[in-house]
Amino acid sequence: MTTAFLPPGAYRPPVDRWGTFARLAASLPEGSVAVVDRTVAKLHPTLLPTLEARRPRAIVQLTGGESAKSFTALEKVLAGGLSLPRSGTLLAVGGGTVGDVSTVAAHLLKRGVRLVQVPTTLLAAVDSSLGGKGAVDLTVRGRVVKNPAGVFHYAEEGWLCPEFFTTLSETQVREGSLEAWKMVISLDASLFRRYVRTPPALTKLVKDARRLKESVCSQDPYEHQGLRRVLNFGHTFGHVLESVSHFKLSHGDGVGLGMLLALDVGRLLGVTPGDVAARAEEALANGPGVPGRERAAALLRRAPLKDIVTLLGADKKAGSAGELRMVLLSAIGTTEVHDVAEHTWRELWPAWTKGVRP
Ligand SMILES: NC(=O)c1ccc[n+]([C@@H]2O[C@H](COP(=O)([O-])OP(=O)(O)OC[C@H]3O[C@@H](n4cnc5c(N)ncnc54)[C@H](O)[C@@H]3O)[C@@H](O)[C@H]2O)c1
Ligand SMILES: [Zn+2]
C-alpha cells in the first residue's frame, strides 16, 4: 500500500519501535510538542531532560487518570500545540488517558498532525495506543460520560520502552495482562496453548497482543464492518461491573471478570463448550490472575437488578430491541456474536451473586 498521500492520522500499518526512550527520542524532530504524564516524568527523572534536548515547542504535563480526558486538559494540549505546523509531530507519553486526549488533539491541531504514541502502562501498550481511537469524556448534569467525543487518528509510530513498565504496580500489570490475554483467548488458539505451557515474558505479551489487535484493526480500521467487535469479548458485563463499583474496579479487572461471565452465558446458550470455558477460566486465573468470582458477586449483590438492566441497555453493544449483543467464545481463538435475551442471563444471576461457577 502506498502511504505517500495519506493525511496524518489516516490508517497505515503501525511502525513499532522498541528501545530505551533516550535512544528512540533521538529521532524526534525538533519543534515537536510532547504531552507527558506528570507521574511518569516524576518516576523517570531522565524523561524531561531527554525531551528538552530535542528542543520541543512545548512539553504539556497532565495528571494521568480519567481527568486527563476532560475538555480542560484537551484545551491545554491544543494551546501547547498552537504553533505546531501541519507537518509537526505530537508525542504522547503516558497511559491510555494521556494517549486518548493526545489522539483527539492530534486530530484537531491543523486538521491533523503526526502522532507518535509512547505507552507507559501495560494497558496502553497492549491496547489503547493501537487502533486509532481517541476520545474525551463529557460531564452531563454532574455525571461523567465516558468517551462520547472521539476520533479515529492513527499513530504513525509506537515507541515501546520497557523501562517504563518497571514502575507499574502489580495491579497495573494485571489489568494490562488481562486485556492482552483477552486477545489471545479470543483470537489465537495455538498461542493460547503456548501461553498456558509457558507464561510469556512481558515484552512478548506486548508484542503478541499488538500483533493480534492490529490484525483485527487492519481489516476494519474505521469500524465500519463490525469486525472489531471481537475486541469487546468480556466487555459487556465488564463495563457493568466497573460502573456498579463506581469505577473502583479497574477496567482490566472488569474485563477479566466480564470474560468469566461471558463464558457462563456462552455455556448456557450452548455456544461455548464446557471444556473450552473451563480451560479459558483456568488460564485466566493462572496466567494474568483474574480476580475471584466473589469480587464480581460482591459488586452484583450491592446493585439493584434494575440498575444492571439499565446499564446493559445503555451499552453501545445492545441491539435495538434491548437484547444484548455479546461476543461469545465458540472455541479457543474463535468467537461468535449472539443476541442474548434478559431472561437468559437472569438464569445465571443466582450463581453470579453467590460467586460460584454456574
Ligand atoms: N483508545 C482506545 O482504543 C482505548 C482502549 C482501551 C482503553 N482506553 C482508555 O484508556 C484509559 C485507561 O488507560 P490506563 O489504564 O493506561 O490509564 P491511565 O492513563 O489513567 O494510567 C493509569 C495510572 O497509571 C499511571 N502511570 C502511567 N504510566 C505509569 C508508569 N510507567 N509507572 C507508574 N504509573 C504510571 C498514571 O499516572 C495513572 O495514574 C481509559 O480512559 C480508557 O477509556 C482507550
Ligand atoms: Zn478494554
Strand partners, 151: 134
The three three-digit cell numbers of residue 200, written as one number? 510469556
What are the tens digits of pLDDT across the range 298-332? 999 988 888 888 888 876 556 666 678 999 999 99
pLDDT at 2 over 70: no
What's the fold here for domain 15-165?
Rossmann fold (3.40.50)
CATH 1.20.1090.10 maps onto the chain at 170-354
CA of 268 to the centre of ligand 1 (A): 34
pLDDT at 321: 64
Residues of the chain with pLDDT > 90, as a percent, come to 87
pLDDT at 183: 98
What's the fold here for domain 170-354?
Dehydroquinate synthase-like, alpha domain (1.20.1090)
Measured by CA distance, the residue closest to atom 21 of ligand 1 is: 95
What are the tens digits of pLDDT across the range 169-194? 999 999 999 999 999 999 999 999 99
Strand partners, 90: 33, 115
What are the tens digits of pLDDT across the range 211-242? 999 999 999 999 998 899 999 999 999 999 99
CB contact at 8 A, 237 and 258: yes
Give me the mean pLDDT over the 36-61 stretch.
Answer: 98
What are the tens digits of pLDDT across the range 104-152? 999 999 999 999 999 999 999 999 999 999 999 998 887 778 889 999 9
| Matching residue, cell 459487556 | 236
| C-alpha span between 148 and 144 (Å, rounded) | 10
CB contact at 8 A, 47 and 40: yes
Residues of the chain with pLDDT > 70, as a percent, come to 97
pLDDT at 222: 95
CATH 3.40.50.1970 maps onto the chain at 15-165
Q: What are phi and psi of 184, to 5 degrees?
A: -70, -50
pLDDT at 141: 80
| C-alpha span between 351 and 336 (Å, rounded) | 24
CA of 218 to the centre of ligand 1 (A): 23
Nearest ligand (C-alpha, residue 169): 1
| C-alpha span between 144 and 67 (Å, rounded) | 10
* Residue 31: pLDDT band with limits 50, 70, 90: very high
Ligand 1 pocket member 37 (CB < 6 A)? yes
CB contact at 8 A, 312 and 240: yes
Name the E strands within 120-197.
133-140, 143-152, 157-160
Ligand 1 pocket member 97 (CB < 6 A)? yes
Give me the mean pLDDT over the 244-249 stretch.
Answer: 90
Of all atoms in ligand 1, which is nearest to the CA of residue 179?
Answer: 6
pLDDT at 4: 64
